[in-house]
Amino acid sequence: MVSWKNPDELSSFKELCSDTHRADLKTLMSGEHSAKRVADYKVAMSSGLSYCFASKAVDDEILSKLQALADEAELSAKFRELYNGAVINTGENRLVLHQLCRGQLGDPVIADGVDKHEFYTHEQAKIADFSDAVHKGDIANAKGERFTTVVQIGIGGSDLGPRAMYIALENWAKANNKLRMKAHFISNVDPDDAASVLKSIDLEHSLFILVSKSGTTLETLTNEAFVKTALKAAGLDPAGHMIAVTSETSPLAKSKDYLAAFFMDDYIGGRYSSSSAVGGAVLSLAFGADVFARFLAGAHAEDVLDTNPDIRKNPAMLDALIGVYERNVLGYGTTAVLPYSQALSRFPAHLQQLDMESNGKSVNRFGEPLSYKTGPVIFGEPGTNGQHSFYQLLHQGTDIIPLQFIGFKHNQTGMDTVIEGSTSQQKLCANVVAQIMAFACGKDDANANKYFAGGRPSSIIVGEQLDPEALGAILAHFENKVMYQGFIWNINSFDQEGVQLGKLLAKKVLARDCDGALRAYSELLEI
């Protein structure tokens, strides 16, 4: 049995916080010896990726203290408890099983009377059969014509993750002859969101996926009604154009309103659901079930690496520990995610949800208030675009913001052009490595406007190309990093009570059951 303790009860954490030793990033990354540091300070990930942390403000002494914290906090053992089926989500009394969609890491997990790995793989097989039939035209519209477009209706985890994954692979799929159906997403209750998507697609050849675990999410049911109205207005039968991804106990599960229903369960939170039927249905329809299987394989291979208790062999655990060091020892409150890949344009928004919704907590897993900082703010945009925008503050602002870069040797489309002796892809890569060095080492200048203090830490995940396996591995890396940080902070990373109060108050506004400022604001917006 592991022991769940706040970090400030652990001697390794107290030692880390009281230690005045610091790694001088500028010195460590300057001069000839710095090449060796870049070679040494990296950890192999799966799918040919590496996690490189030479530009983080750590040295061997700090790393050994972080290993001690990993050991004393029993991080590896806690992950083992999780994947073996312990009730890790204590607040909601639930298991946490998203990794199990990707493969079996430990013992069989039996819940609700079934083997959960079998349950997830069974749903994947159902999705594969369904998407194959759609691609072959065996499942088609009322005229017997093939569906060409798939539209996911969902919000939060049912939207951000699957949307980011779709965008990440769309160009790869085109280049590799794998784009079976174009995907769109409707999420916001703003009626202009649904209206805009519906105007841009060919309704008669569109298949809609309604994603709601409970079958009661306000935005999603509202948008479903919006879509059904549009289908009927076009003379189409909604039941012939819709499938559901939901829990077996939801009202949607056995409804005749859907061509098919695929199941998820309470053991996978929305923000962790890209690996489940929530991501599986739309990605299998868009790219084929084989591509989704490759994505899961990449994620599973990463999960396996992330079980290792040695932080020099476990990239997610190491990343988590360095993040805690930056947050609780160095006092940095924000992290930027900066992929040098246009395909990852919505990946920072997904990580923002994953990290901030999981670890933005002020009580520990027993409901006790905390006296230390937990999850940071996460934001980001793709490079090189960000270089011409908010990087100014990252370089010369009054706060230090740790940076997470992601870069690939090869682009996805294979199209490129040589200008002034280099390809665009080479320019892209040259820019990311240049930025790492500029942030780490800065530059002296007699003109204070042109002076860069340096000492601004970053890490980079480097890969060959953003393909399905690499994408799965990167996703798993960050999910596991967030999980390990939650373990260190002794919080429950798998509930989200902070989203409830607003929902309740919105209902009161719509029922005109409110007074004081809330009523006054409602009048201001003429509700």
**Any idea which residues carry the catalytic annotation?**
357, 388, 503
The identity of residue 2, as a single letter, is: V
Among 225, 234, 239, 330, binds a second copy (CB under 8 A): 225
Residues 6+ apart with CB under 8 A from 30: 441
**Looking at the DSSP assignment, which residues form a beta bridge with residue 404?**
337, 459
Cβ atoms of residues 19 and 325 within 8 Å: no
Number of residues that bind a second copy (CB under 8 A): 161
Question: In the 3-class helix/strand/coil scheme, how is 364-398 assigned residue by residue?
Answer: CCCCCECCCCCCCEEECCCCCHHHHCCHHHHHHCC
Residue 240 per-residue DSSP state: G
Residue with the two structure tokens 């992950």: 79
Binding mask 180-199 for a second copy (x = CB under 8 A): -------xxxxxxxxxx--x
440 scored as a contact of a second copy (CB under 8 A): yes
Q: Which of residues 507-526 bind a second copy (CB under 8 A)?
A: 507-510, 515-522, 524-526
Q: Which of 108-116, 255-263, 368-376, 480-488 is the region at the interface with a second copy (rule: CB under 8 A)?
A: 368-376
As measured in angstroms, the least distance from the Cβ of 36 to a second copy is 8
The residue among 218 and 253 lying less far from a second copy, judged by its C-beta, is: 218
Q: Which of residues 93-152 bind a second copy (CB under 8 A)?
A: none
The residue among 4 and 390 lying less far from a second copy, judged by its C-beta, is: 390
Among 37, 80, 178, 205, binds a second copy (CB under 8 A): 37
* Euclidean distance between CA atoms 298 and 288, whole angstroms: 16
The identity of residue 466, as a single letter, is: L
Among 234, 426, 444, 513, binds a second copy (CB under 8 A): 426
Q: Which of 5-13, 70-78, 154-162, 274-282 is the region at the interface with a second copy (rule: CB under 8 A)?
A: 154-162
* Euclidean distance between CA atoms 482 and 369, whole angstroms: 20
381 scored as a contact of a second copy (CB under 8 A): yes
The residue among 353 and 480 lying less far from a second copy, judged by its C-beta, is: 353
Q: Which of 59-67, 213-221, 316-324, 469-477 is the region at the interface with a second copy (rule: CB under 8 A)?
A: 213-221
* Euclidean distance between CA atoms 432 and 414, whole angstroms: 20
Structure tokens at 452: 């860069």
Q: Which of residues 488-507 bind a second copy (CB under 8 A)?
A: 492, 495-507
The number of residues making up the chain comes to 527
Residues 6+ apart with CB under 8 A from 486: 358, 359, 492, 493, 494
Q: Which of residues 272-331 bind a second copy (CB under 8 A)?
A: none
Structure tokens at 247: 């829990």
Among 221, 253, 259, 293, binds a second copy (CB under 8 A): 221
1 scored as a contact of a second copy (CB under 8 A): no
Structure tokens at 235: 């003379």
Q: Which of residues 82-101 bind a second copy (CB under 8 A)?
A: 91
- Give the SS3 label for residue 219: helix
As measured in angstroms, the least distance from the Cβ of 96 to a second copy is 16
Sign of CA dihedral 489, 493, 495, 497: positive
The residue among 64 and 423 lying less far from a second copy, judged by its C-beta, is: 423
